[in-house]
Structure 1
């Protein structure tokens, strides 16, 4: 069934806030990695998503040649789809390992897109479905999709490392700190916690 422009319930309206959640359970992250251990492409996609905060379409734009020789602390530059600006990410050991395992299992040419399916490069809706499925299999309840990967990165940066909101705002390419807080869904949690102090 065809939808008129702006009527498809599976796509948010322009300017609306995406309601998918980050993965807030570290054990669930490990369960997903375990689930994907025999699927090097999917594991690589998941690991890159939660360790770089690139948007799904930016991950899908990566070619094998861009990542094949990456070593720990190398910089991966990707053009942001929304702003047209390049964003540099310093890759960590988890990213290097996931890429290496994937390309060892599936030798691809440097010109090929990194994340291929049977019909060519994966699409963002396909990635969204994959993430939803992984989260369900890991026992998570809630709304998850492709943006959950990048939100997971930001959530744990803020919660565990205490990364400042202005830095996260820059990494996400957001215009305001309020946008970043709303995006991560942290503000409500933090406000609730300030009322736990008993005087």
Structure 2
């Protein structure tokens, strides 16, 4: 029963934080929405920041799983060279998420903007997520002949973050498709150089 209360707190807080912001969402709002007592909350989390980190860790798992599943599903549908299929599918997976009714920007970009001290546990959780996204992108590069795979993955991650911010701030819900086009050109130029 105790773990279900913990999960309920994380689920409720995650939805509120994602839609309304971290500092703007108070503990009382989370308690009222979840129906959990304050004592129970503090039995599970030492502070609001500890709850935020737990939410970010949960979101990290959810988002990476969503992207991985969609890459696997969409890779066979790509009209490109087979070795490009996974990385092109990554941008389609991003587009799928951006165009869902559960998209409110990137929770990690939002959190790192509110907790900008690089050593803060919330900021560190955001950094860890972005490193994992870079690793996911690097994996999608498969056997492409590239001079510096990690540098390429970081460049593609910047395109992905730009697509997310573009969709969130300007409501350009084709931003991931635009990023995919730039990624294709970037990869073509890097493959020629390799």
Which TM-score applies when normalising by structure 1? 0.28
Computing the radius of gyration from Cα coordinates, the structure with the larger value is 2
Comparing both chains, which one has the higher relative contact order based on Cα–Cα distances under 8 Å and sequence gaps of 6 or more? 1
Structure 1 or 2: more helix by fraction: 2
